[in-house]
Amino acid sequence: MIMGRKRVLLEGIVVGLAGAAAVAIWFLLYDLAEGVPFRTPALLAAALFHGLRDAGALTVTPGLVFEYSLVHGMAFILFGLGTAGLFALVDRDRRVLFGVFMFFCCFEVFALAMIMTLGAWLFHTLPPWTIIGGNLVAGLIMMAILFRDHSVSLGEVLTSVE
């Protein structure tokens, strides 16, 4: 099925929001397990927008959580749009699936690089495995939606570079 632009835009937004929600839930569960609900989005907002350099000085506020949630949602929507665009190409040429895989890998590296840019000290509070795990969950959910909507099988992904 070849998709029109409106369909690609809608799919990208839906897929992006699904990924954003998956990561948000992942970190909410992580923060709850640590005993500090909403710490991760507040920490990232404080570091990104307010120059926080010491996690011990963080006060979790609804404003910080909201600020980061907006950035987080927009980033995932943009990623979802890119992914939906690539999947529209997959409908024409299955070899593009390898490009989708590479796009997800680049996104993961980008997420880790952003944390490093904000400050390596964040990795003491927010271990890399949490970021990788959250993005992996998001990626799996996003891919499940896209695979379902585009009738792509796992076997096609594995053989797409042939």
Domain ranges of the chain: 5-151
Please give the model's pTM, rounded to 2 decimal places. 0.85
CA distance 134 to 157: 22
* Average pLDDT, consecutive stretches of 10 residues, N- to C-terminus, the chain (162 residues): 80 97 98 96 94 92 97 96 89 81 87 82 88 92 87 60 56
The whole-number pLDDT of residue 121 equals 85
Q: What are phi and psi of 146, to 5 degrees?
A: -65, -40
Q: Residues of the chain with pLDDT > 90: what percent?
A: 54
Q: Which pLDDT does position 158 carry in this prediction?
A: 55
The whole-angstrom separation of Cα 147 and Cα 87 is 9
Question: Three-state DSSP class for 38?
Answer: coil
